[in-house]
Amino acid sequence: MNANTQSKLKTLFTSLTPGSPLTSEDLAALGISADLAVYYVRTGWLKRLARGVFCHPSHDLELHPCLRLMQRKIPGVHVGGKTALEWHNIRQYLLPKPVVMLYGPNSGSLPDWFLQRFTAQYHRKRLFDEDPAALQDVRPFEGEDNSPHVSVPERALLEMLSEVGLRQSLQEARELTEGSYNLRADVLNELLQRCKSIKTVRLCIQLGREAELPWFSKLDTDKLPTGSKRPWVSKLPDGILVLKP
C-alpha cells in the first residue's frame, strides 16, 4: 500500500462513525475512487454490504446511523407508528426484538443488508394532507441533527391507529392510546384536521373519549373530518369495530 492510499485509508477511518454504513458517494467525498474502494474491500479494509454500500469490517452496524442512510435512499422515510410511540416512552409491552415501523410518502423497499440486521418494515403511507417533501411533525429524534427522523407522539398515535385492522390489534391500540395522556391537543387537532382516513379520526376520538384523556376535551371535534353520519363497521381479528361519527 503506497503512502497516498494509506493516508486516504487513515482519513476514512478517522471520519467514520462506529456502526455507520457509508456509500460510494461518501467515499468519493473523501477522495476514495471506486477502484480504490474495490481495493480496500479486496484487502479486507472495507466490507461491502451491497452495491455502493460499505462498512468497517470489524464494526457491528447500529440502527440509528443505518436509518439515516435509509433516509437518503428513500425520501421521506421516518420512524413512525408504534415504534415512534415507544421511542417517546409510550409503550404497553417490552418486546425483546420489536419491529421497527418505518413510513414514508414514496414507494420503496428496505435493502437485504438492512433487514438481515434489523427487524423492520417499510410502508408507503399518505395519511395526511401534506407536502411529501416536508412532512408535518416529523423531526430528528430528540432534536439532534444527526438522528433519524421520527414522528412526534401525536402523529405517531394516528399512524398507529391507522394500522388497526391491518398490522395492529385493536386491544393494543386501545392500551397504547390510554398511555397517551400527555399529548398536545393543539398538535393532535391540527393533524386530525389534515388526516385523510375517516377511520383513524373516528378511532382517535372514540378511544380518547372512552379513556377520558386530557387532550380529548380540548379537541374541536365538530370541525374534524369524521365523514358521513353512518357508523363505520369493520370485522377485525380481535373483534368487531364500530365507529360512530
The DSSP-derived string for the chain is --HHHHHHHHHHHHHPPTT--EEHHHHHHTT--HHHHHHHHHTTSSEEEETTEEE-TTSPP-HHHHHHHHHHHSTT-EE-HHHHHHHTT--S---SS--EEEEESS-----HHHHTTS-EEEEE---BSSBTTB-TTEEEGGG-TTSPEEE-HHHHHHHHHHTBTTTB-HHHHHHHHHT-TT--HHHHHHHHHHB--HHHHHHHHHHHHHTT-TTGGGS-GGGS---SSSPEEEEETTEEEEE--
Let me know: does 187 contact 157? Beta carbons within 8 Å.
Answer: no
Average pLDDT, the chain: 92
At 107, list the grid cell. 414507494
- Per-domain residue ranges for the chain? 3-55, 63-243
The CATH class of the 3-55 domain is mainly alpha
User: Beta strand pairing status for 100-104 and 120-124?
Assistant: parallel
CA distance 114 to 27: 20
pLDDT of the residue at 2: 62
**pLDDT class for 140, splitting at 50, 70, 90?**
very high
pLDDT (tens digit per residue) in 68-111: 999 999 999 999 999 999 999 998 776 667 899 999 999 999 99
CA distance 137 to 149: 10
More confident site: 47 or 238:
47
Is residue 206 over pLDDT 90?
A: yes
pLDDT (tens digit per residue) in 22-34: 999 999 999 999 9
**What is the length of the chain?**
245
**pLDDT class for 145, splitting at 50, 70, 90?**
confident
